[in-house]
Structure 1
Amino acid sequence: MSRPGAPETREGVPAWFARALAGAPEHRDVVVDGARVHYRAWGEPGRPGLVLVHGGAAHSGWWDHVAPLLGTHRVVALDLSGHGDSGRREVYGTGQWAREVLAVAAAEGLARPVVLGHSMGGWVALTVGVEHGDDVAGVAVIDSPLDRQPPEEQRVRARSLGQRVHADLETAVARFRTLPPQEVYLPHVREHVARGSLRPVEGGWTWKFDPTFSGNRPLVRRLLPRLAAPAALFRCEHGLVTPDMAAEMAALVPGGLPVVDLPEAGHHPMLDQPLALVTAVRTLLAFWPTGSAPSA
């Protein structure tokens, strides 16, 4: 049943979602340290920059229905190496991925963008803020926990999901699950993200990510005190970051860490509460509007 004020298309897809996907991105590539890095871009060139970083085993298409709603900015979302349509490497690390973030921003002419990362992408965003703080207006993380390794990486190491081959596309789409799993997905969002997560191989279809992308990452606890850029945390109500953990995280950041709660959101808010996520990000960008950090 649709809510008042939330019209649907004939196929039962919310009109806002259809409009967002109609704002198709530009697809581009840049070579970083010998590997091709694919990215998507939305919005008018010359606007303030925002770089979106997906989580482990995900890809830039997870932002397809979010990025067009952030129209105050030139938004780019990259496929980290080993993910999506980017090339693969023998070894992956957050430092390497941070350089990919900055290379994509430079290719688009984004001066001191805001970097927003989800889950494992939060580790990447924080690494940007630690190692390249002068190059960004701020970094924000979505539900990256304090004392755990990225949960997607733990699951991939344990189950080797990237090596499964499904006989046909529809079977593969039906098998799509997030890492970690959650109870609620908007079906139209799940369908779109799942289809973009697959590639054809001999014998059928498999996931795009390189199953060897996982590794040991520095704990968020060790990154937060070293931040050299303004930062913010989006906490998902049903995610991995508890209120007590969020308070502890804020205490670790010099100057403090704004924490925004996303109501009813699981660990992957772009899949179950995308409009709440958009509202929160819009609010953050209102304080980081022109590529310069707000004064204390």
Structure 2
Amino acid sequence: MSRPGSPETGEAVPAWFARALAGAPEHRDVVVDGTRIHYRAWGEPRRPGLVLVHGGAAHSGWWDHVAPLLGTHRVVALDLSGHGDSGRRQGYGMQQWAREVLAVAAAEDLPRPVVLGHSMGGWVALTVGVEHGDDVAGVAVVDSPLDRQPPEEQSVREQPLGQRVHTDLEVAVARFRTLPPQEVYLPHVRDHVARGSLRAVEGGWTWKFDPTFFGSRPLVRQLLPRLAAPAALFRCERGLVTPEMAAEMVALVPGGLPVVDLPEAGHHPMLDQPLALVTAVRTLLAVWPSGAAPSA
């Protein structure tokens, strides 16, 4: 069964995707250290908590078709400061972003949630696990490589795209590319994410993220041995974390690190293999009930 075609390609939109978007989130704000932080929330308020953290130059709407399928939990996805519909700061850091994650969880009354971060968001999730391990049930990272700075930040540093103004919305949507780029996207997902990535400005449309969000970050290698919370890795088969790198990451974590491979997924699995990602996250949440760490 399918739905009418996406605006971009005319291809049929799968029924699961249409149903997911029909489960529209609640949009809320919380002020953290003087800056407004926007977030989306799905599911029953009294369920266990899951916080989703997007990658660099992305936004909470990247999870719009994923979060509604995680119905066992109250799911929140925030726009980190400098991204999406949140405010901007003079400077950005992982510890600041980690505080934003916990502030959103507190605003939703989610004690000890699971925190899952993609790419640069994986750095944020790991920072939560290092600095605030007692406040979370576990942290999970999606394709955050071991010995690199966040790849999105490097791309923005080399190609300052954030200030470009497009006079036509459809042209801007058509030019949407991920950082770093990948070969495969589901057209209906790409179209939805691209439209949510743009804001109206004088003269047209531009990308929502602050082009100065990048900075010097600790390496994943430095964070893993310091984790004070259970952790897991989702490795994208066609992403940045190789099997050899994943094995090295496992060895760095006291007590080990569960690794789940996402078959055929590129670095951005919510754009090319979202159902595989959903299945993996559902399994993780069954093992890690919020409020309690998994037994040894």
| TM-score category (smaller protein) | over 0.9
Q: What letter is aligned with 2:35?
A: A
The residue correspondences of 1:93-132 to structure 2 (distance < 5 A) are 93-132=93-132
* 1:203-282 mapped onto 2 (5 Å cutoff): 203-282=203-282
**Structure 2: which amino acid aligns with 1:191?**
D
Q: Amino acid of the residue matched to residue 213 of structure 1?
A: F
CA drift at 1:206: 0.3
Residue 9 of structure 1 aligns to which amino acid in structure 2? R
Partner of 2:237, secondary structure, is strand
SS in 2 for 1:45: coil
Q: What SS does structure 2 have at the residue aligned with 1:13? A: strand
- Please name the residue that 1:3 is paired with: none
Once the two structures are TM-superposed, the CA of residue 203 in structure 1 deviates from its matched residue by 1.1
Secondary structure (helix, strand or coil) at the match of 1:110 reads coil
2:183 and 2:268 map into 1 onto residues whose CA distance is 11
After superposition, the C-alpha distances for 1:60-88 in whole angstroms (9 at most, x for unaligned) are 00000000000000000000000000000
Report what 1:87 is aligned to.
87
The CA deviation string for residues 73-124 of structure 1, in whole angstroms up to 9 with x for no partner, is: 0000000000000000000000000000000000000000000000000000
Question: Which segments of structure 1 move beyond 4 Å, counting only runs of 4 or more?
Answer: none
Match of 1:154 in 2: 154
Maintained 8 Å contact 2:79/2:85: yes
Displacement of 1:291: 2.0
The residue correspondences of 1:24-63 to structure 2 (distance < 5 A) are: 24-63=24-63
Q: Equivalent residue of 2:2, what SS?
A: coil
User: Partners in 1 of 2:293 and 2:20 — Cα distance?
Assistant: 29
Aligned residue in 2 for 1:9: 3
> 1:212, CA displacement in angstroms?
0.2
* CA drift at 1:145: 0.1
Matched position secondary structure for 2:233: strand
Shift of 1:290: 3.4
Using the TM superposition, give the Cα deviation of residue 289 of structure 1 relative to its aligned residue in structure 2, in angstroms.
Answer: 1.8
Give the residue type in structure 2 aligned to 1:80. L
Counting aligned pairs with the same residue, the percent is 89
TM-score by length of 2: 0.97
Instruction: State the AA in 2 paired with 1:218.
Output: P
1:171 maps to amino acid: V
Which amino acid in 1 is paired with 2:36? R
Match of 2:9 in 1: none
Aligned counterparts of 1:107 and 1:10: Cα–Cα separation in 2:
37
1:116-142 residue CA offsets vs partner (Å, 9 max, x unmatched): 000000000000000000000000000
Q: Residue 4 of structure 1 aligns with which residue? A: none
**Are the counterparts in 1 of residues 114 and 290 from structure 2 also a CA contact under 8 Å?**
no
| Paired residue secondary structure (1:251) | helix
TM-score of the superposed pair, with normalisation by structure 1: 0.97
Q: Within 5 A, what are the aligned runs for 1:274-293?
A: 274-293=274-293
Q: CA RMSD in A?
A: 0.5
One-letter amino acid of the counterpart of residue 40, structure 1: R
Q: Paired residues, what number?
A: 290
Q: Which runs of 5+ in 2 are unaligned?
A: 6-11
1:252-282: per-residue Cα shift (whole Å, max 9, x none)? 0000000000000000000000000000000
> What do residues 192-212 of structure 1 show as CA deviations (whole Å, max 9, x unaligned)?
000000001111100000000
Letter in 2 for 1:103: A
Unmatched tracts of structure 1, length 5 or more? 1-6
Deviations, residues 185-241 of structure 1 (Å, cap 9, x unaligned)? 000000000000000111110000000000010000000000000000000000000
1:176 aligns with 2:159: no
**How much has 1:146 moved relative to structure 2?**
0.1
How far apart in 2 are the matches of 1:109 and 1:269?
Answer: 29
**CA shift for structure 1 position 143:** 0.1
